[in-house]
Structure 1
Amino acid sequence: MRVSVPGIPQAILDASPALALRSIPEAIQRLTEFIGAGNVALLTGAGVSVDSGIRAYRGEDGRYMNPNYKPIFFHELMDPSASGYAFRQRYWLRSYLGYPPVRDAQPNTSHFALAALQHTSHLSHIITQNVDGLHHKAIRNTTGTQWPPDRIQKSILELHGTLHHVQCSKGHTVDRDTFQEWLSLANPKWHQYAQELELTGNQPRTNPDGDVAVEQLGISYDDFVVPECPECMLSDHVNSAYKPRVIFFGESIPQPVKIQSYEVVENSERLLLMGTTLATYSAFRLLKHALELKKPVMLLNVGPTRADGMPSVEKLDVPSGAVMRDVAKAVIGTRAEEDPVIVGMLASGIDNPPSLDDDDRAPRAAG
C-alpha cells in the first residue's frame, strides 16, 4: 500500500511570495467587513493554536517543521500482527509523553474572539482541522455562556477528530485521561519518567497531534506495553489495536463528517479560512466547494498555502492573534463593552507561542 503525506505543491513553495495584505489595521478592517455581514463559516488549522503553545505543522515558508518526520499510517497502527504491535509501541509511547501538554493547553485570544463571534451568531459554524479541543474549551470555560453540549457539538465540527478519546479496532471507546491511566499502570517506568518531565518542565517537542520525538534521548520502544481492550476481553478477544479518535494518514474521514462539512459550507454565505495551509485535501476540497458555489472566501494565514494564486481567494498574511480580538470588538459593537459574557470572552485567552528557536529544520532522527 502506497500512501503519501499531503503537502503544498512544490511549485507554490518555489514561487515568489504572492502579494497579500500584511498591514494589521487593513486586515482588521477587511475581516470586520467580511464577518460583520454574518452567516460566516470558519475553517481553522494548526496556526490558530500556536499562541496556546502548540506548534504548527509547517513554518512560515510552508514546509514541515521537521523534514525528516515519518508519520505512522492507519494501516500500520491497526495491523493485528506483531509488526502492528511494534508500530503501536512507538506511537503510544510518544503520544503518552506528548499528550499532557496538549491536554493542559489553554485557549488563546483567537479562540475566545471566535467563541464570542459564535456567541453572537456572526460565525455560524466552526470546522476545525485541529484535534486539541481548544475551540470547545473556549466556549465551555466562559462563565455565563451556558451552551448545552449538543449546541457545542453542532456548532464545532472536528474534521480530523480529537485526541481526547481513544477507541479500539472494534469500536469500544474510552476517554483519553482513562487511557493515559491504563498506560501508566502498564508502564510504571515510563509513568515515573513522565512525572519527572512534568516536574522539571523538560518536555520534548510536541507536535499538534500530541506526538513527540524521543529517539534523540536514546529511548527504545521495545519495553512499552500497550494494554488490551477490556471490552474485547469480555468476549475472549485479545485486542491491543487502539488509536485516538483522530484521522490518520491513509484513513478516510467518516462519511457523516464529510457530508456535514459540505452542508456547513453550503448553508453559509461566505467562508473564512484561518491558520491553515490547506495542505490536506479534506480542507482544500471545502475551499473548492465554496468557490464552485460562488461564495466569497477570505484566508488569514502566515506564509504559503495551497490556495496561493487562486484569484477568488482574498489572502491576509497576518497571524490571527494579532487581529482577532480587535475584529471581534468591531463586529460585535457596543455589546462587546456592555454584555458581561462577551466582555469576559474578549478579556480571556493566553498568548504563549512556542519560542522562536523551537524549530526542527536541522536534520535529526526521523520521527
Structure 2
Amino acid sequence: MRVSVPGLPQAVLSANSSSKAISPSEATLRLAEFLGQGRVTVLTGAGVSVDSGIRAYRGNDGRYMNPNYKPIFYHELIDETAKGHSYRQRYWLRSYLGYPPVRDAQPNSTHFALAALQHTSVISNLITQNVDGLHHKALRQAAPYEWGPVRLQEAILELHGTLHTVHCTFGHKVDRASFQEWLSAANPRWKAFADEMERTSTRPRTNPDGDVAVEGLGINYSDYVLPECPSCLAENRYNTIHKPEVVFFGESIPQHVKIRSYRDVEDSDKLLIIGTTLATYSAFRLLKHALELKKPVMLWNVGPTRGDGSSGVVKINMPTGFIIRDVVRAVIGSRVSEDPIIAQMLCSGVVKPPSQDRDG
C-alpha cells in the first residue's frame, strides 16, 4: 500500500503570490466587508493555533516540511501483526508525551475573535481541520451557559477529528484523560519521565497532532506497554489496538463528516478560509465546491496555498492575529460595547507562538 503525506506542489511553492501587498487597514476593510453581508462558513487550519503554541504542519518550521519525517499511517496503526504492535508502541509513547501540551494549550486572540463572530451569528458554520479543540474551548470559556456540548457540536465541524477522544477497534470510546491514565498505569517508568519533563519544563517539540520529536532522546519503544481495552475484556476479548479520533493519513474521512462539510458550504453565501495551505484534499475540495457553486471565497493565510491563483479566490496574505480583533469590531459595531460576553472575547486570548527550533 502506497500512502504519502499531502504537500504543496513545487509549482505552488515556487510561484510568486498572486495577492498584492496591502496595508493592515485595507485588509481589515476587505475582510469586514466580506463578513458583513450574508451567511459565512469559515474553514480553519493549523495556522490559527500557532499563537497558542501549537506548530503549523507546513510552515517554515513545520514537521511535514522535513523530508526525513515518517508519520505512522492508518494501515500501520491498526495492523494486527507484531509489526503493527511496534508501530502502536511508537505512536502511543510519542503521543503520551506530546498530548499534555495540546491539552493545556489555551485559545488565542484568533480563536476568541472567531468565537465572537459565531456568538453573534456572523459565522453560520465553522469547519476546522485542527484536532486541538481550541475553537470549542474559546466558546466554552467565554460563554459556558450559552455554548453547551450540543450547540458546540452543531456549530463546529471537526473535519479531521479530535485528539481528545480515543476508541478501540471495536468502537469502545474513552476520553483522552482516562486513556492517558491507562498509559501511565501501564508504564510507570514513562510516567516518571513525563512528570520530570513537566517539573523541569523540558517538554520535547510538540506537533499539531500531539506527536513529539524524541529522536535525540535515545528512546527505545520496544518496552512500552499498550493497555488493553477494559470494555473488550468484559466481552471476553483481548484487545490493545486503540487510536485517537483523528483521521490518519491513508484513512478516509467518515461519510457523515464529508456530507456535513459539503452541506455547510452549500448552506452559506460565502466561504472564508483561514490559516491553512489547503494541502489536504479534504479541505481543498471544499474550496472547489464553493467555487463550483459560484460562492465568493476569501483566503486568509501567510505564504503559499493550494488555492493560490484559483479564479474567484481573493487572497489576504497577513497574520490573522495582527488584525482580526479590528475586523470583528468593524463587523459587529456597537454590539462590542453593549454585550459583555463579546467585549470579553475581544480582550481574551494568549499570544505564545512556539519557539523556532530545529526539527528533530
Conserved in 2, the CA contact under 8 Å of 1:8 and 1:62? no
- Offset from partner CA, 1:131-167 (integer Å, 9 cap, x none): 0000000000014652232111011000000000000
- Offset from partner CA, 1:205-232 (integer Å, 9 cap, x none): 0000000011211111011111011111
User: How far does residue 6 in structure 1 lie from its aligned partner after superposition?
Assistant: 0.8
- Offset from partner CA, 1:94-140 (integer Å, 9 cap, x none): 00000000000000000000000000000001000000000000000
One-letter amino acid of the structure 1 residue matched with residue 36 of structure 2: G
Where does residue 334 of structure 1 map in the other structure?
334
Where does residue 43 of structure 2 map in the other structure?
43
- Offset from partner CA, 1:249-296 (integer Å, 9 cap, x none): 000000000000000000000000000000000000000000000000
Q: Distance in 2 between matches of 1:22 and 1:239?
A: 56
Q: Distance in 2 between matches of 1:251 and 1:334?
A: 46
Conserved in 1, the CA contact under 8 Å of 2:63 and 2:207? no
User: How far does residue 18 in structure 1 lie from its aligned partner after superposition?
Assistant: 2.9
- Offset from partner CA, 1:50-93 (integer Å, 9 cap, x none): 00000001115999343321110001000111111100000000
Conserved in 2, the CA contact under 8 Å of 1:61 and 1:303? no
Q: Does 1:358 align with 2:346?
A: no
Q: Distance in 1 between matches of 2:145 and 2:317?
A: 32
Q: Distance in 2 between matches of 1:33 and 1:287?
A: 20
Matches within 5 A, 1:153-232: 153-232=153-232
Where does residue 257 of structure 1 map in the other structure?
257
Residue 227 and residue 277 in structure 1: after superposition, are their counterparts in 2 closer, same or farther (change >3 A)?
same
- Offset from partner CA, 1:291-333 (integer Å, 9 cap, x none): 0000000000000100111121100011111111111111100
Conserved in 2, the CA contact under 8 Å of 1:51 and 1:354? yes
Residue 164 and residue 63 in structure 1: after superposition, are their counterparts in 2 closer, same or farther (change >3 A)?
closer
Matches within 5 A, 1:1-367: 1-60=1-60, 64-143=64-143, 146-355=146-355, 357-360=356-359, 364=360
User: How far does residue 5 in structure 1 lie from its aligned partner after superposition?
Assistant: 1.2
Deviating more after overlay: 54-63 vs 266-275: 54-63
* Secondary structure at 2:142 match in 1: coil
Residue 259 and residue 170 in structure 1: after superposition, are their counterparts in 2 closer, same or farther (change >3 A)?
same
**RMSD (Å), alpha carbons:** 1.4
Residue 150 and residue 21 in structure 1: after superposition, are their counterparts in 2 closer, same or farther (change >3 A)?
farther
Conserved in 2, the CA contact under 8 Å of 1:54 and 1:208? yes
Residue 60 and residue 39 in structure 1: after superposition, are their counterparts in 2 closer, same or farther (change >3 A)?
farther
User: How far does residue 21 in structure 1 lie from its aligned partner after superposition?
Assistant: 3.8
Conserved in 1, the CA contact under 8 Å of 2:43 and 2:126? yes
The runs of 5 or more residues in structure 1 that have no matched partner are none
In the superposition, the TM-score normalised over structure 2's length comes to: 0.97
Percent identity of the aligned residues? 67
One-letter amino acid of the structure 2 residue matched with residue 217 of structure 1: L
